[in-house]
Structure 1
């Protein structure tokens, strides 16, 4: 059976003054797919994420999640629709424990007000207990149990990157934007992250878009790949097709290969 389209990006154009960051970019991501976006530094990869989650407002084009148009919406409303994101640079609160950082990912799912939450009684108490149980399931999935009470600022780097993924998963996303999830990791940490992403996909069925410079990770995990160069799409296809595309090779290596 053909999978339904989860995300549709059409004719996306983003400019900053006289600089065009994205030029008529278009692609589809199917439900349950791992879709990767690659390109040299400055190619526009992160700009796509910033448009999808509402941080940037493109000058032209549309972004549609299922039947819902995302363009023009606020980041908060897009998050409420099930779009979560990790960041190149860790966005954890260093003075909060790992579990409290993950609980922040549940904020948009909570319904009780500030007053009830302050006194932790009635519905607020029951709701927090339920959300903490959901966070514990994420901790188990990512094998973060030993660090549950550790302040995020004291976590080893590879564990902190995993915690960043955990906070995004705590949002219960249907679309997960992974912005360089293995940046700065050593080989062992990279292989661990690849294993966790594979397990997340298998168990949760989350649709993922991956931006990453580690080509081995992209080739191992992605179903399809979009290559960008200076904001312009230059190839889309399977990892092997894109990797061997002469235009992609020239963009990365200047025609040296």
Structure 2
């Protein structure tokens, strides 16, 4: 399902270097992500995959390199500012509010898009009422897209694990992003749940034409879904290419198997 974009890349990461004291987490990482592309990052534990996400969304500030989204530099911006520019993220560990319903958790993803003041929000009149109706409608579209209708009013803490991971994806989509960072979306899932999540990611991509960066240990999922793949080893890029090229690359095989290819 490879799609090659001829337009300018949506995201450009150049010479990204991140250090913690004497430890180098990322060393000269460069890649681009096209509009509508699903780009994957793979590597053994500790390879620096999540560190890339933390740099892109402003949690970490790299010592060197540039990160540009649609021509605008992200370096030095806060996570809230990066989110406001259209970057959404899911997490390895669920970050849902357990006491809130599924729809209420999705509504939290719309928060940065709301403009109503405190007073109007308290009394729920005028613009506040119109805004909530509008944003709830957007959340209902996500509920339908991810087939979450039976769980609409269920507290997040009572959701089955696979459904909760889908709700986490839904909350990220509720932010109306242009770039979605998927941090191990099938971690802890069984085979059936993994296949369901893969199907939903394909559906999201088809319906929203959304650029995604996928970090995942399930290499079969990566090779099935990704257009291009970046392989890391101890923070250093060792190969970038199509899934087929990555699977045949001796350096990638050695990094994963721990011996000569």
**TM bracket, shorter-chain basis:** over 0.9
Question: In the alignment, which of 1, 8, 19 is matched to residue 4 of structure 1?
Answer: 8
Q: Does residue 16 of the first structure (1) align with residue 17 of the second (2)?
A: no
Q: Does residue 87 of the first structure (1) align with residue 53 of the second (2)?
A: no
Output the CA distance in 2 between the equivalents of 1:42 and 1:17.
16
Q: Secondary structure at the match of 1:5?
A: coil
1:41-89 Cα distance to aligned partner (Å, 9 max, x none)? 0000000000000000001100000110001101111101100000000
Output the CA distance in 1 between the equivalents of 2:71 and 2:250.
36
Q: Does residue 235 of the first structure (1) align with residue 231 of the second (2)?
A: no
Task: Tell me what 1:171 maps to.
Answer: 175
How far did 1:256 drift?
6.3
1:83-162 maps to which residues of 2 (within 5 A)? 83-162=87-166
Report the TM-score when normalising by structure 2.
0.97
Report the TM-score when normalising by structure 1.
0.99
Q: Does residue 75 of the first structure (1) align with residue 79 of the second (2)?
A: yes
Output the CA distance in 1 between the equivalents of 2:120 and 2:97.
24
Q: For structure 1, which runs of at least 5 residues remain unmatched after alignment?
A: none
How far did 1:121 drift?
1.1
Task: Tell me what 1:195 maps to.
Answer: 199
Task: Tell me what 2:220 maps to.
Answer: 216
Supply the RMSD in Å over aligned alpha carbons.
0.9
Q: Secondary structure at the match of 1:21?
A: strand
Q: For structure 2, which runs of at least 5 residues remain unmatched after alignment?
A: none
How far did 1:3 drift?
2.9
Q: Does residue 47 of the first structure (1) align with residue 51 of the second (2)?
A: yes
Task: Tell me what 2:31 maps to.
Answer: 27
How far did 1:4 drift?
2.4
